[in-house]
Chains A and B, each alone.
Chain A
């Protein structure tokens, strides 16, 4: 950020690639086909009401058949040695399907943290999908947030405390827990065997859970600045890539709505022929088109290790949250009564979009973060008379 025009410079040294490579297109097609076969939309709602809200069948297939659970992990650690751009493509497809798998938690948040600490022990299992890892922070945590203090570790590595509202923890085999050491410095621990209390979540396809640690043994992965950096890498990567998932949600909402208004007739013509409807969908298309550029940029910056990644991630979350929520809300509205009906999937997308808009930092928090990153400082606090 030292050179270039204005704070944040011109952002990057090399022009970012905002498109999709042929390999990425192929990856998309494979994931889409697999998801359609293993987790058809008709089954998604039923699963949310079942005893097993997470789709372990789809999860296994993503790992064992497609090998996409370790896209961001190097080959020598059991991964595919691809990167975050490819991971983002998978997330787009999972968002399109509101698939109930712990991909964001395990393959993005936890994987980014493990990569940052240079772990070699857990990554192979996480990359193959045989193990699910979860980052034990509240799902609403934004990058740059203060280090969590809810859990502390004793000198002999026993963790005590609680973390609330953690995503993708229900099926996790291993938890990555930011916790304070006995001396009060930050650390990151790998933990098995916490108490997991499922919560009733707004997003029925991504259940949250509360975690309790009652003197559970943990293995220290990193301490001090390394632990802070790992947590920040996880949250920044997560925020950047969540935009891809939000793009998938928004695309589904737009496409499904377009299909509906073309065929639904009222007043003797398709409702999509009314200008009030057409103009709203045109605006939505513009927004989704913009979101694609924003999400691709965010994925590209984390993939290339660009110094602009924190800005890109915050831009992505400030922008994607609003677009995905609008898209889902428009889908509900323009489907009329059927859009408000439990059996129609629109509400699953609305719930996914709205909770994703809070996840990893609300748009407002990301704008506040941008204020610092791009030098648009807060007003000086006025003295209250």
Chain B
């Protein structure tokens, strides 16, 4: 492969990376290369996640330089995956597979995940276990070199589109809840996986109920040790919060840009009160953007920390306030909705939706990926060092917990 790093090259320098990007762009003109093919070449060149090891889409380069690589590709108009469809794969499955998957797993899963050929979903929440994820009841029982899984998951985004899922199960009900969980990769096309659309407040079914009945998962698709699923899940969740809130954006890059655009184009809608509210939100959006930028500069090499929770919390509040104001600004038009017919989106996106959709969908931002209350608790305890909540279930075997 012409774009692979030659042996002995200092692959972690900006100069090397810039040159590598240019070589790749020269060999695969983004304007005339199908997206999946381009992304495959980018993966093979180690320019997907540059801090991943060679062979897993990376170069073992400093994570801090990823943005530089992304910026170069963006400037060249290179394709990127749609984060609505591939957010769970890119933001959550990939870092977890890297941290806990063996060579075999990484080789099998990371490339098609990166090219977008395989979509991922997250089988975590259950009807009885949302915020208290560690209370989950879906059982996995060992059967030779396989596990057999039975249970029900809920609110699973894009389960209807996904080939693969990250799945947390209970493998030992006789120990306290955090200690008896095990984490798997689940084939969504396996017998016994049944996906039923679950309609949400927007009218569409972006998420689903997933019934798992006697689903057989090879032990080779286990991530982390048996009983260590909570630790693996924590890695996923930390990455989730960063993925949701911590990306670099240009000024007016998010929902605020749409609102500001409407303000500029529709002078007849303007009122003094809305003007004041708009400017407040514009300032808040700028603060959130700069915070994300600073977080990125600071995180540079490290793993995502609880700071991601702050970004996610701020992002949820901002989206809700902006989309709420947008409807008010539209006034009479805000009384209408585009379409209540039942839909199952393949690629949900707030930016492409209509104002009414955005308003409703934003309400999910403070629930999905950990509610804002849970995130405040995480910040208070892990960042600020305040005393933990009283835990009444910490030393009780899972099977003895009141349900």
Contacts and interface: CB of A to CB of B under 8 A. Distances in A.
B250 A10 contact: yes
Contacts of A4: 250
Interface string B253-292: 0000100110110010011101110111011101110110
B393 interface: no
B291 A6 contact: no
A289 B310 contact: yes
Contacts of A6: 251-252, 257, 260-261
Given A315-B286, A319-B283, A5 B291 contact: no
A315 B289 CA distance: 12
Given A19-B298, A371-B275, A371-B279, A293 B310 contact: no
Given A270-B387, A315-B286, A378-B275, A292 B376 contact: no
B389 interface: yes
B313 A370 contact: no
B384 A282 contact: yes
B383 interface: yes
B387 A380 contact: no
**Chain A CB within 10 A, most for which of B271, B387, B388:** B387
B271 A379 contact: yes
A122 interface: no
A229 interface: no
Contact of A286 (B276, B297, B313): B313
A258 interface: yes
Interface residues of A, number: 51
A281 B380 contact: yes
A84 interface: no
A251 to B, nearest CB: 13
Contacts of B385: 258, 262
Contacts of A18: 290, 293-294, 297
Interface string B69-83: 000000000000000
Given A5-B250, A286-B314, A275 B278 contact: no
Contacts, number: 146
A370 B283 contact: yes
Question: Main secondary structure on chain A at its contact with chain B?
Answer: helix
Contacts of B54: none
Interface in A293-341: 293-294, 296-297, 315, 318-319
B270 A296 contact: no
Contacts of B274: 379
Nearest to B272: A379
A33 interface: no
A16 B291 CA distance: 12
A53 interface: no
B240 interface: no
Interface in B79-96: none
A53 B377 CA distance: 42
Contacts of A367: 276, 279-280, 283
Contacts of A377: 264, 267, 270
Contacts of B384: 258, 278, 281-282, 285
A252 B274 CA distance: 34
A192 to B, nearest CB: 40
B386 interface: yes
A209 to B, nearest CB: 32
Given A269-B387, A374-B282, A292 B294 contact: yes
A282 B376 contact: yes
Interface of A: 4-6, 8-11, 15-19, 258, 261-262, 269-270, 272-273, 275, 277-279, 281-283, 285-286, 289-294, 296-297, 315, 318-319, 364, 367-368, 370-371, 374-380
16 contacts: A5-B257, A258-B386, A262-B387, A273-B386, A275-B377, A289-B291, A290-B287, A290-B290, A290-B291, A292-B291, A293-B294, A296-B294, A319-B287, A367-B279, A376-B279, A379-B267
